[in-house]
Amino acid sequence: MTTLEEVQTRVHVPLVQPRLPQQAPLVVGGIAAAFGALLLVLGLGIVGAVILGAVAYLVALPVWSLVIEGRRGATDRLMTGLIWTSFAIAVVPLVSLIWRVIAKGAGRIDGTFLSYSFFKTQIDQPVGVYHAIIGTLLVTLGAAVISVPVGVMAAIYLIEYGKGNKLAKAITFLVDVMTGIPSIVAGLFAFALFTLIFGPAYVSGVGGSVALSLLMIPIVVRATEEMLMLVPDDLREASYALGTPKWKTIVRIVLPTALGGILTGITLATSRVIGETAPLLLIAGATDRTNMNVFDGAMTTLPVLIYGQNLRGDAPAEAIAWGAAFILIVIVMVLNLAARIVGKIFAPRTK
Amino acid sequence: MTSRVQKEAVMAKSIDVSDVNIYYGDFLAVEGVNMTIRAGAVTAFIGPSGCGKSTFLRSLNRMHEVIPGARVEGKIVVDGQDLYEQDVDPVAVRRQVGMVFQRPNPFPTMSIYDNVLAGLKLNAGKMKRSAADEVVEKSLRGANLWTEVKDRLNKPGMGLSGGQQQRLCIARAIAVEPQILLMDEPCSALDPISTSAIEDLIHELKDEFTIVIVTHNMQQAARVSDDTGFFNLKATGEPGHLVEFNPTKKMFANPDDPSTEAYISGRFG
């Protein structure tokens, strides 16, 4: 008897529910856009018009949906709208920045700009940013050479050897703190270090590399840690069971398995520090000449050059700054692309 | 001269286990195990899940201590040498006591060919191409995988099916020619045809290796093993222990302990 009653009292859930037409978001979006355009015509600023248009969309569609589809549908519409809005807020500045840099900087790029330095031997000689490109590449390469071994080995210690012990916990904490070091403090550290060793007024590219590596090491440690944690313990055990010592298991099994991800992490860390200005102003200085020796003399990098040109403020200097910014962005993009390709190449394959 | 003597001495070894307690940190997982695993025979461990048979198996090649905090008390003597003596190198132990795991775990960065050779390459360094080819073919034939993969030896091991991957792992384990081969439910991921191939393989291998196999499949234990050990928990939360260790024939026909009979006949409780 009870079963019959239960069946009768069970709520009937219809499988078909009223839905908004499929083009509903498009229609509401169009109306909201028209509303925004109207506000623009009425004299509101572009920013205000876009914001009010977005708000109109975020209110209208959920309300319509609430009437037709009910609560769950309305919540879904609202959250979808909010997430798209957040996405737009995140992407708009990026796109606008890249657009500005391309529009203003790409025109300045030519053979001379890429192959001449600021150092003039004749009064009418054209100038370029060759010295800063070389400076950026050498200083950043130096930073990578210092940070990659230190960072990767620290991560290996943390994951493979120190798992959960006090020292590892302390190191993890310090790495987290290091992630938050302001870059100018890293520059001061390098400045103080090299002043202590070589005396006052010492500037060099390698000093800049040391400062940058301070910023880069925590990122490399974190990225490598994540990748090493993804390597299944099954593989380590399989290797141990073949009578392989732990260090060889790490070098021959664990690291190759995680290599793609580690390389990606290293490249991302490199592109993170390649744009640093403040620490390099302190320790690497600035020069008009092309300096190939990282151990001696000032070295200009692209960010420092952009900063300097911007300070001067006249039209040719500003054009040079935009051109240099364009080159910097291209270098970072190439690095990221390279990271993706390298990551793909070294990812474990199944075919 | 020495090497020849050593070569002749390399053969299946027996394992003497006395008063072994196995811990995870403070937790006693397996208590008071005593047994003698015969050389050149197949020994199967059966018992319900969580009774410590896999844990015990892993203590036989010192894989247990890979887990932080895990330790073993008591004596496990192979060829007159206690594996848990102070100055024994666990790496050396594992070279002589190979292991096949429950889940297939080929190395994802290596080809089928390199997976089979992994143990030799990682430990012995370079070897001649012809010798390597020979080892690969012999091991893959041994694991009943040769005909399936002989045309794609340079493809990644991860591209094989689950059953093929497990046979690849067996090939990898026997390629280093250990004296003892431990198998932790090696067939639980395999189809019946592969399972029967592995069981045939176990019969062939027992002339050369001492084989210890953990299995949930009672028929498999009956088919492949010469001796069987039955592990059980005294009660929930209590450590696992060895209830009975006897020749398989006696175990399945006329076990000493009533709980063994209950487990084997399916009336467990």
Chunked mean pLDDT (size 10), chain A, 351 residues: 59 81 89 91 86 91 90 92 94 93 90 85 85 93 95 94 88 92 92 90 90 94 94 91 91 90 90 90 86 87 92 89 93 89 78 61
Q: Does residue B258 form part of some domain?
A: yes
Domain range for A138 is: 130-346
A257 to B109: CB separation less than 8 angstroms, yes or no: yes
What confidence category does residue B245 fall into, taking pLDDT thresholds of 50, 70 and 90?
very high
Q: Does residue A262 form part of some domain?
A: yes
Q: Does residue B118 form part of some domain?
A: no
Q: Are residues A177 and A318 both part of a single domain? A: yes
Q: What does the pLDDT read at residue A89?
A: 92
Q: Are residues A63 and A201 both part of a single domain? A: no
The answer for residues whose C-beta is within 8 angstroms of residue A274's C-beta and 6 or more apart is A136, A140, A328, A331, A332, A335
Q: What does the pLDDT read at residue A10?
A: 77
Q: What does the pLDDT read at residue A217?
A: 95
Asked whether the predicted pLDDT for residue B124 surpasses 50, the reply is yes
d(CA A19, CA A70): 9
Classify residue B157 by its DSSP letter: G
Tell me how close the Cα of B245 comes to any Cα of chain A, in angstroms: 26
State which of A45, A75, A107 marks the end of a domain. A107
d(CA A70, CA A68): 6
Instruction: Show which of residues 211-240 on chain B sit within 8 Å of chain A, judged by CB atoms.
Output: none
Kindly state the tokens that stand for B90: 């666990």
What confidence category does residue B3 fall into, taking pLDDT thresholds of 50, 70 and 90?
very low
What confidence category does residue B190 fall into, taking pLDDT thresholds of 50, 70 and 90?
confident
Q: Does residue B195 form part of some domain?
A: yes
Q: What does the pLDDT read at residue A115?
A: 86
Q: What does the pLDDT read at residue A288?
A: 85
pLDDT digits (tens, 9 = 90+) for A217-228: 999 999 999 999
For chain A, the residues whose C-beta falls within 8 A of a C-beta of chain B are 163-164, 232, 234-245, 248-249, 252-253, 256-257, 259, 348-351
- Interface predicted TM-score of the whole assembly (ipTM), two decimals: 0.86
Q: What does the pLDDT read at residue A43?
A: 83
More confident residue, B197 or A147: A147
d(CA B36, CA B39): 9
B108 to A235: CB separation less than 8 angstroms, yes or no: yes
Tell me how close the Cα of B64 comes to any Cα of chain A, in angstroms: 10
pLDDT digits (tens, 9 = 90+) for A295-315: 888 899 999 999 999 998 888
What confidence category does residue B19 fall into, taking pLDDT thresholds of 50, 70 and 90?
very high
Q: Are residues A139 and A253 both part of a single domain? A: yes
> For residue B95, which residues of chain A lie inside 8 Å, CB to CB?
242-243
A164 to B172: CB separation less than 8 angstroms, yes or no: no
Q: Are residues A308 and A200 both part of a single domain? A: yes
Cβ atoms of residues B240 and B253 within 8 Å: no
Q: Are residues A204 and A302 both part of a single domain? A: yes
For residue A233, CA distances in Å to A60, A78, A157, B106 come to: 52, 43, 16, 12
Least confident range from A213-217, B195-199, B256-260: namely B195-199
B105 to A348: CB separation less than 8 angstroms, yes or no: no
Q: Are residues A81 and A154 both part of a single domain? A: no
Q: What does the pLDDT read at residue A124?
A: 82
pTM: 0.82
Q: Does residue A285 form part of some domain?
A: yes
> For residue B101, which residues of chain A lie inside 8 Å, CB to CB?
234, 237-238, 241
Q: Are residues A199 and A52 both part of a single domain? A: no
Q: Does residue B110 form part of some domain?
A: no
Q: Are residues A196 and A317 both part of a single domain? A: yes
d(CA A328, CA A265): 19
Q: What does the pLDDT read at residue A108?
A: 86
Q: Are residues A91 and A223 both part of a single domain? A: no
Q: Are residues A37 and A159 both part of a single domain? A: no
B155 vs A: CB within 8 A = yes
Cβ atoms of residues A235 and A292 within 8 Å: no
Kindly state the tokens that stand for A109: 């790029």
* Number of domains composing chain B: 1
B101 to A349: CB separation less than 8 angstroms, yes or no: no
Q: Does residue B231 form part of some domain?
A: yes
In CATH, what number is assigned to the domain containing residue B229? 3.40.50.300
Domain range for B49 is: 13-105+181-264
Q: What does the pLDDT read at residue B46?
A: 92
Q: Does residue A73 form part of some domain?
A: yes
Q: Are residues A97 and A191 both part of a single domain? A: no
Asked whether the predicted pLDDT for residue B7 surpasses 50, the reply is no
Q: Are residues A100 and A206 both part of a single domain? A: no
The answer for residues whose C-beta is within 8 angstroms of residue B119's C-beta and 6 or more apart is A242, A243, A244, B98, B172, B173, B175, B176
* Number of domains composing chain A: 2
Kindly state the tokens that stand for B258: 């009533």
State the DSSP H helix or E strand holding residue B113, giving kind and residue range, or none if neither.
helix B112-124
